[in-house]
Amino acid sequence: MARGTKITIRDVAARAGCSVATASRVLNRSGATSADSRARVERAAADLGFAFSAIGRALQSSRSMTVGVLVPSLANPVFAEAVQGAQEQLRDAGYQCLIASSTYDPERDAEALRVLTAKQVDGLIVTMVAPEDSSELGAARASGIPAVLMFHDPRAGLLSAHVDNAAAAREVARRCADAGHRNTGFLALRFSTSDRSRARFTGFMQGCAALGMAAPVLVEVSEDEAASPAALARTLSAHPGLTAIFASNDVLAIALQRAARELGLRVPQDLSVIGFDGIEIGRHLDRPLTTVETDPEAMGRQAARLLLAMLRGEMPEPPAPLPFTFRPGATLGAPAEDRDDDRAATRSPSAHPDQNPSFKRT
């Protein structure tokens, strides 16, 4: 069933009655060829159903037309969308994507980088646990493989497609302050392996400090806690004084709301919740999520554009951070202390009284 015999350019040349050099020139439209041989070669290639072997080409040109993309996990929609964006942009330039994921494990980051460079990728787009500490990334760059980061804040000599996490978090602090919150928390998952999470916390702290609020309480949760509403509720109940919690991403923010309900807390009346990322689904919820909206796909595209420029031999400027927008949603409101204060009610633009039909005042 399987005809194992691949047809190569020499088969084409043989059938066209010319040398492989000529066949190559015709098929690549490189070099001069007579109309006659052009026709014969093209005919032969079509008859035989010839297709170039990218391997042979790569070996000869030492360009694989392949880019390595490393992300923590495709199961996180934020990274998946970024990869999608990068992939689209690269495809337009004739590059393919070899992807790897680390499940947030630095050891696997290193292994993936080794494999990708062994596969002779022409460039790298990476989001990893600790880019600055990775000897593999350093080695790749030293051996001439251009690399750009995604999601990370830019660091020593490395370009990055990113949003300004700290600035966005400061904006969140401002919105919390505007709504009247003083005692806030930051809910973090994988704090130690995600510099995004850390940058957001730092920015949030700065913002809170600048606005005279109490320092936010850092609430770290494990993978398991985040997955179970009951467990998350238990953790949450250890911090009764908080009126607003900024979650390090949207999925966590949604889980947090569920946990709050478990404790009989209403959102946003008893607890305000703010997310990060702006995933699609957040805006389709009955009570749309208050969040910082980013565009991971655009981030992926920007990373790809930067890399393509470097592959062309250019030395692109460090890009400006990608824009984010604060999406008001309906999960940030005035804190309960302010509830009875009638000034507070008017100060709370995001509290949608009709978010749940059963609460409709009619």
List, in sequence order, every residue forming a beta bridge with 100; answer none if it has no partner: 70
Query: Contact between 53 and DNA (CB under 7 A)?
Result: yes
Contact 271, 258 (CB under 8 A): no
| Min dist. Cβ of residue 11 to its own copies (A) | 14
Residues binding DNA: number (CB under 7 A): 30
Using CB distances below 5 to 8 A depending on partner kind, what does residue 297 bind out of DNA, its own copies, none? its own copies
Separation between Cα atoms, residue 90 and residue 328, nearest integer Å? 34
Contact 227, 254 (CB under 8 A): no
Query: Contact between 8 and DNA (CB under 7 A)?
Result: yes
CA distances from 112 to 98, 168, 316 (A): 10, 31, 26
Query: Contact between 15 and DNA (CB under 7 A)?
Result: no
| Part of the chain binding DNA (CB under 7 A), chosen from 33-41, 80-88, 153-161, 340-348 | 33-41
Separation between Cα atoms, residue 115 and residue 257, nearest integer Å? 41
Long-range (24+ apart) CB contacts under 8 A made by 202-205 are 202/166, 202/169, 203/165, 203/166, 203/167, 203/168, 203/169, 203/170, 203/173, 204/169, 204/170, 204/172, 204/173, 204/246
Contact 69, 112 (CB under 8 A): no
Separation between Cα atoms, residue 215 and residue 184, nearest integer Å? 7
Separation between Cα atoms, residue 242 and residue 185, nearest integer Å? 6
| Min dist. Cβ of residue 260 to its own copies (A) | 9
Among 24, 96, 117, 206, binds DNA (CB under 7 A): 24
| Min dist. Cβ of residue 88 to DNA (A) | 25
Q: What is the CA radius of gyration of the chain?
A: 27
Separation between Cα atoms, residue 326 and residue 329, nearest integer Å? 9
> 160 in helix, strand or coil?
strand
List, in sequence order, every residue forming a beta bridge with 218; answer none if it has no partner: 186
Using CB distances below 5 to 8 A depending on partner kind, what does residue 234 bind out of its own copies, DNA, none? none
| Part of the chain binding DNA (CB under 7 A), chosen from 28-36, 104-112, 287-295, 299-307 | 28-36
Nearest CB to DNA, comparing residues 59 and 218:
59
Using CB distances below 5 to 8 A depending on partner kind, what does residue 280 bind out of its own copies, DNA, none? its own copies
Nearest CB to DNA, comparing residues 29 and 360:
29
Per CB under 8 A, residues contacting its own copies are 1-4, 6, 49, 51-56, 58-59, 62, 64, 66, 73-75, 77, 80-81, 83-84, 87-88, 91, 96-101, 114-120, 139, 141-144, 229, 251, 254-255, 257-258, 261, 264, 266, 280-281, 284-287, 297, 356-359
Nearest CB to DNA, comparing residues 30 and 346:
30
Site mask, DNA, residues 187-206, x = CB under 7 A? Answer: --------------------
User: Which residue shows structure tokens 């000897």?
Assistant: 135
Which has the closest alpha carbon to 186: 142, 113, 226, 244? 244
Among 1, 2, 29, 61, binds DNA (CB under 7 A): 61
Using CB distances below 5 to 8 A depending on partner kind, what does residue 254 bind out of its own copies, DNA, none? its own copies
Query: Contact between 31 and DNA (CB under 7 A)?
Result: yes
Nearest CB to DNA, comparing residues 24 and 235:
24
Query: Contact between 143 and DNA (CB under 7 A)?
Result: no
Using CB distances below 5 to 8 A depending on partner kind, what does residue 21 bind out of DNA, its own copies, none? DNA
Query: Contact between 46 and DNA (CB under 7 A)?
Result: no
Separation between Cα atoms, residue 206 and residue 212, nearest integer Å? 10
Which has the closest alpha carbon to 183: 323, 338, 303? 338
Binding site for DNA (CB under 7 A): 6, 8-10, 17-22, 24-25, 27-28, 30-34, 36-37, 52-53, 55-57, 59-62
